[in-house]
Amino acid sequence: MLDTQPEKPDRSTIQVFLGFLLGIVASLGCLFLAIVLAKTIFERNWSYPLFDAIALILVGSIALKNVRESSYALGAVIALSLALLLDGACALVFFRK
């Protein structure tokens, strides 16, 4: 009998870790971009978490499209997801003040 299941690409732990580091760099870039945009467009502080969440979702969706082909994208998606969760938690604390 022939099994015709598609082959899954091998996931290298090193590549996933490097993708995770790439995701951390991308999330820091999103944070910097959010701070610059929020300072130039709005004078209120509430817009930082909003712009950061939008930027993280955009970068994460681009990385999510490539998850099946690349281990780097998988690590980046993991890091960007954690950064989005942290951004949401910080936004909740920020808005409770």
Q: 1 pLDDT exceeds 60?
A: no
Question: What is the phi-psi region of residue 44: left when phi exceeds 0, alpha when psi lies from -120 to 50, beta otherwise?
Answer: beta
Q: pTM above 0.75?
A: yes
* Predicted pLDDT at 57: 94
pLDDT digits (tens, 9 = 90+) for 21-64: 999 999 999 999 988 888 888 776 667 888 899 999 999 999 99
* Predicted pLDDT at 9: 59
